[in-house]
Every structure is written in C-alpha cells, then in structure tokens.
Amino acid sequence: MAGKPLRKPAPFPALPAQESVVECALQLRKIGDKLNLHQKIRNLITKLFCPGT
C-alpha cells in the first residue's frame, strides 16, 4: 500500500512572520537562560575558590 508521504516539519525560513518571531524568541530565551546559568555557576565557583580576588 502506498503510504502517505511523511510530513516534514517546516524549516525555519518557511514559517510565517509571527511564527518566526515566536520561534526565534523562544530559541533566544533558551540560549540566554543557558548562558546566564553557566555564568552564574562560573561566578559562584570563582567566589568560592578565589574569595579574595
């Protein structure tokens, strides 16, 4: 039986403007939050092991 062609998710550029904006903001939020957390951990480690600097 000929199966239904698989529907691939739409690539980023094909999204309409509003969806693009939402998707883009979501990714930026993830990237930003990850970076923020890493930097906080880095700062905490620095504070613990080099309190005088």
Partner 1 sequence: MPGALEEETALLLADYFQHRLGGAALPPSPTAQTLRRVAGELESRERPFFRSACRPLALAEPGEPAALLARVAAELEAEGGLNWGRVLALVVFAGSLAEALVERGAREETGRLAEVLSTYLAGEKREWLEANGGWDGFYHFFNKHGSQPTDQNSTISNAIMAAAGFGLAGLAFLLAVR
Output 5 or 9, the one with its CB closest to partner 1: 9
User: Rounded to whole angstroms, how far apart are CA atoms 11 and 49?
Assistant: 46
Q: Which residues bind partner 1 (CB under 8 A)?
A: 12-13, 17, 20-22, 24-29, 31-37, 39, 42-43, 45-50, 53
Copy the structure tokens of residue 43. Answer: 């700062």
Output 3 or 16, the one with its CB closest to partner 1: 16
Please state the closest distance from residue 19 (CB atom) to partner 1, in A.
11
Centroid of chain to Cα 29: 6
Copy the structure tokens of residue 41. Answer: 């951990």
